[in-house]
């Protein structure tokens, strides 16, 4: 199979937070779902379906200095902050630019740790809920 150029890699990703371009984000993950429930009546096969609620959530890991910039941009306390957007942009010279927008995020959990010989002590992992539908490359999921 021929090599077709540089595909998306971590160097191709830009993360925008309320404080601007985030250099110290080392991981981001986000997802959404809307479950479908089979509806039964008489018999063993579904006679239709019902839709559950849309849900979206995510997490990211930040170096401690990046977390402190985010916390300051959110007013000093991540749990008291108003919903904020996170934008993940994927692009390089060989691939089209893809922009995912995570609107109305709110932090639900903070986690950090440190240990002997840790090269990134104090890195912070944040879990967040996304209160509005994710825009996957500018197309709303719902």
- Give the model's pLDDT for residue 2: 53
The answer to the question of residue 43 being in a domain is no
Q: Chain centroid to CA 23: how far?
A: 16
Domain count along the chain: 1
The answer to the question of residue 101 being in a domain is yes
- Give the model's pLDDT for residue 1: 47
Distance CA 85, CA 130 (A): 9
**CB of 63 closer than 8 Å to CB of 81:** no
The answer to the question of residue 44 being in a domain is no
Instruction: Give yes or no for residue 64 having a pLDDT over 90.
Output: yes
- CATH number of the domain within which 88 lies: 2.30.110.20
pTM: 0.88
Distance CA 54, CA 33 (A): 6
Please report which confidence band the pLDDT of residue 114 belongs to, taking 50, 70 and 90 as the band edges: confident
The answer to the question of residue 7 being in a domain is no
The answer to the question of residue 118 being in a domain is yes
- Give the model's pLDDT for residue 3: 62
Domain that holds residue 113: 12-35+49-140
């Amino acid at each position: 199979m021929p090599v077709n150029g540089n595909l998306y890699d971590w160097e191709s990703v830009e993360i925008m937070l309320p404080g601007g371009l985030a250099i110290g984000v080392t991981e981001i993950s986000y997802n959404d779902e809307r479950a479908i429930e089979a509806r039964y009546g008489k018999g063993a096969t579904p006679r239709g379906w019902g839709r559950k609620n849309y849900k979206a959530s995510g997490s990211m890991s930040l170096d401690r200095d990046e977390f402190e910039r985010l916390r300051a941009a959110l007013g000093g306390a991540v749990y008291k902050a108003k919903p904020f957007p996170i934008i993940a942009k994927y692009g390089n010279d060989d691939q089209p630019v893809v922009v995912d927008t995570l609107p109305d995020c709110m932090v639900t959990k903070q986690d950090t740790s440190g240990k002997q010989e840790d090269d990134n002590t104090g890195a912070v992992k944040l879990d967040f809920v996304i209160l509005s539908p994710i825009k996957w490359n500018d197309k709303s999921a719902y």
